[in-house]
Structure 1
């Protein structure tokens, strides 16, 4: 009985520590991320896949796809799917809280001093520099995630990736249509694979 109790206490403490780590990680990432949701999702990948090892790379790609294909801010959607994957509903609450607190506080402060920020030359220069950094971070994430697909050696996945890039970058197709088309294609392929297994 005492061994079971000790084990339960250890599991509870471990879960609390993980929830706390999840909250502080998302809070930190959200507070120091500039450039929108795609940047924070990429940093989540580095934190939860590369550093902590809580999620593997393929699962992270799936979670990012879910976050992109659902309505709402991608940063919050990313926090929801990561939080749910790690700790269920409590994880969702911790991840959302960590993600929304920094922008809420920062935007509230900026709204009081908007005129000062808008006309300040130094602030404008800082923001211009940040834009360049954001571009580099997004390029790095695209390379990391794209190389993961290439390493999987799935010809179909590589063809979909190239087709999506051409449709978005060369043909200027709306990204929503690309996501919906890729989602529909993925559903068809999954159903086809299930039918093969059943046979």
Structure 2
């Protein structure tokens, strides 16, 4: 799908901005992507965004990068995926390159260490917010299977290896969709 240069530029700047000013990884950037692309630009529907993020989470790799690639592809095909990938990867690459030049000065600085500890608390709060938003989104879908699966996975993470959980969820998801098709 071909879009005009303004659209591509806006897509790049959006992902660049989100990536540059988000601290804490993928689970922090995901709700901001949702806010930008669903609520502000209205380029993606809410339910479609949930599906795209679910695909990004189930794919190997960093969720921020996976999410941006999938969203970019959904909005503008392979070119959009490349643009959003570049917009998401460039800010951390630039920041890490600059920090590496001054690593020794940063490593021993008490103010920088204190700021990092404060950011960890903020990231934890944002992750909790994401969890509650996802719970709300799943409840809106009124899908009991997804609700029970989410609760079961949360409990299982304390007892079972995460790889086993992913495999079990994959099998359950395929079985559920097969059952839904046969039923409907």
TM class by shorter chain equals: over 0.9
Q: Residue 129 of structure 1: which of 118, 122, 129 is its match?
A: 118
Q: 2:181 — aligned with what?
A: 194
User: Structure 2 vs 1, CA of residues 59 and 176 (structure 1 numbering), >3 Å: closer, same or farther?
Assistant: farther
Q: Residue 44 of structure 1: which of 5, 8, 33 is its match?
A: 33
CA distance in 1, matches of 2:159, 2:20: 32
User: Structure 2 vs 1, CA of residues 20 and 176 (structure 1 numbering), >3 Å: closer, same or farther?
Assistant: farther
CA RMSD, 1 decimal: 1.7
User: Structure 2 vs 1, CA of residues 50 and 157 (structure 1 numbering), >3 Å: closer, same or farther?
Assistant: same
Aligned residues: 184
Q: Which consecutive unaligned segments of at least 5 residues does structure 1 have?
A: 1-10
Query: What secondary structure is seen at the aligned counterpart in 2 of 1:194?
Result: helix
Name the stretch that deviates more: 185-194 or 86-95: 185-194
Q: Which consecutive unaligned segments of at least 5 residues does structure 2 have?
A: none
Q: How does 1:45-124 map to 2 (within 5 A)?
A: 45-124=34-113
CA distance in 1, matches of 2:5, 2:116: 38
Q: CA deviation at 1:61?
A: 1.5
CA distance in 2, matches of 1:182, 1:61: 17
Q: CA deviation at 1:121?
A: 0.4
Q: CA deviation at 1:23?
A: 0.6
**Which structure's CA Rg is the greater one?**
1
What is the TM-score with the length of structure 1 in the denominator?
0.86
Q: Residue 22 of structure 2: which of 3, 26, 33 is its match?
A: 33
User: Structure 2 vs 1, CA of residues 36 and 196 (structure 1 numbering), >3 Å: closer, same or farther?
Assistant: same
CA deviations over 1:93-121 (Å, ceiling 9, x no partner): 11000000001111111111111111000
Query: What secondary structure is seen at the aligned counterpart in 1 of 2:116?
Result: helix
What is the TM-score with the length of structure 2 in the denominator?
0.92
